[in-house]
Structure 1
Amino acid sequence: MKERFLGVDVSSHSYEQLKKNVIDDINHKKQSFIVAINPEKILKAQQDENLRNLLNKATYQIPDGVGVLVASRLKKGNIKERVTGIDMLLTLCEQAEEHGKSVFLYGAKPGIAEEAKEELVRKYPGLKIAGVLDGYEKDEQKVIQTINESQADILFVALGSPKQEYWIVDHMDELNVSIFQGVGGSFDVISGRIKRAPDFFLRFGLEWLYRLIAEPWRIKRQIKLPAFLLKVWRDK
């Protein structure tokens, strides 16, 4: 269940399908890799074959960006629902709590993952967080050993994209984790260090507009959307 935009795969799974698939993957001890896809990443992948190959290696490429939904409509595709990286993280935590699975938080600046852990436990009281490690630990073997000793089922990696995705692909074989997700700045948002858009903007898929108002410098990134949609339209 995937669609391809300018050489990059995007999964058309809904949240409900992803919930079931992820728990099935854990129960069958299958390793799966989740990556968030937006128009900016797809355009970058046009110029970077390694990045394109990396994104296409993922098990689930979630459509994190309204532009991907519009592109799917242009190609008469089936992607109907935006699945954001942070909402996928929260969905996985909800599923982990419900099914007795555990998660590990790796990445971000010292202290932030701990604050995110406290907030996640407050939100999901039955959630087992097997461990936390900031992204400034330089000893890779210590990182791998710490994660493996935690026996976590789900690993969230917050090292920034695409560094976090390359890290996941490079270390999956060494880790006894089932589900891997690169989560960018999600720990900062969950911890409260960075404010997320109000519900109104989230409900109508306008988080990009809120972020543009709050951070006008993002206009350089946002103006790439028309170029992306034009390329997709020409590629039909």
Structure 2
Amino acid sequence: MNLLGYKIRESYPSLSAPSKSVVNTINPHSYCVAKKDSEFRDSLEASDILLPDGIGIVLAARILKNEKIKKIAGYDLFLNLMQQLNETGGTCVFLGAAPETLEKIHKRANMDYPNVKVHSFSPPYKPIFNEEDSHLMCDKVNSVSPDVLFVGMTAPKQEKWVHQNKANLNAKVIGSIGAVFDFYAGTVKRPSKFWINLGLEWLPRFLKEPKRLAERNLVSTPKFVWEVLKERVKQ
């Protein structure tokens, strides 16, 4: 489905697919960031699968396309891929986050998905990776050649890095899942199913961290609504 210039797919990647797949998500905030950041927009447009992560995207599809689609968050993508890996005895790499967070991910994944071989690497903490950093990160991933590479370095940094280095990464599926690392490790609590089912997952997070999430919820959301309304008027 083409929505506001992006080809969005409401489906999960398959580990049995013959070619490498890059999977990203889009929500109202990332849409607005991409309007100002051409490199980020190129990264999203180049996705093999771009998932609708956010009630705003779901509502936009209904308003502009008269289509009912299901929100698929990064956490949903993560759970789906880990289940596939567990059924096939596959391998994954978690690239991103602090060593302490990765250790917690290892412990939980070993209990939840005992058939999955889990590896990880914590890259340098810096806003931009240089060529040497990226070479090391790719080498760490390729030493395992995983079925799935989970990248968690916050948007838009993670999507840009994957787009720049896709050709050098030996992985069947590469998914940028950001905050999922912290959610799964338990270092950040994900809102309950009650809020998720209401399409208000963003609200408890905003109330907990209003300063950090102010731009996302108080600036990007109105901008996105305006974009949708303008498109509707054109139609």
Band of TM-score, shorter chain: 0.7 to 0.9
Q: Decide whether the 8 Å contact of 1:108 with 1:185 is kept in 2.
A: no
- Which amino acid in 2 is paired with 1:134? S
After TM superposition, the score normalised by the length of structure 1 is 0.88
Q: Decide whether the 8 Å contact of 1:3 with 1:77 is kept in 2.
A: no
- Which amino acid in 1 is paired with 2:41? R
SS of 1:151 mapped into structure 2 = coil
- Which amino acid in 2 is paired with 1:3? N
Q: CA deviation at 1:205?
A: 1.9
Which residue of the partner structure matches residue 75 of structure 1? 64
Q: CA deviation at 1:147?
A: 1.2
Which residue of the partner structure matches residue 201 of structure 2? 207
Which residue of the partner structure matches residue 151 of structure 2? 157
2:109 to 114, 120, 133: 120
Segments of 5+ residues of structure 1 without an aligned counterpart are none
- Which amino acid in 2 is paired with 1:152? P
Q: 1:50 to 1:220 in 2, by over 3 A?
A: closer
Which residue of the partner structure matches residue 24 of structure 1? 16
Q: CA deviation at 1:76?
A: 2.4
Q: Decide whether the 8 Å contact of 2:147 with 2:171 is kept in 1.
A: yes
1:39 to 12, 28, 48: 28
Q: Deviations over 1:13-43 (max 9, x none)?
A: 2xxx41xx42232xx2x11101110001111
Segments of 5+ residues of structure 2 without an aligned counterpart are 126-131
Q: Decide whether the 8 Å contact of 2:97 with 2:123 is kept in 1.
A: yes
Q: CA deviation at 1:196?
A: 0.9
Distance 2:187 2:60 in 1: 33
Q: Decide whether the 8 Å contact of 1:35 with 1:58 is kept in 2.
A: yes
Distance 1:48 1:220 in 2: 15
Distance 1:48 1:79 in 2: 29
Distance 1:220 1:45 in 2: 14
1:88 to 65, 71, 77: 77
Q: Decide whether the 8 Å contact of 1:69 with 1:79 is kept in 2.
A: yes
Distance 2:59 2:115 in 1: 38
Distance 1:79 1:37 in 2: 16
Query: What RMSD, in angstroms, separates the aligned Cα atoms of the two structures?
Result: 1.8
Which residue of the partner structure matches residue 222 of structure 2? 226
Distance 2:14 2:56 in 1: 25
Which residue of the partner structure matches residue 3 of structure 1? 2
After TM superposition, the score normalised by the length of structure 2 is 0.88
Distance 1:184 1:48 in 2: 18
Which residue of the partner structure matches residue 61 of structure 1? 50
Q: Decide whether the 8 Å contact of 2:123 with 2:137 is kept in 1.
A: no
Q: Decide whether the 8 Å contact of 2:25 with 2:50 is kept in 1.
A: yes
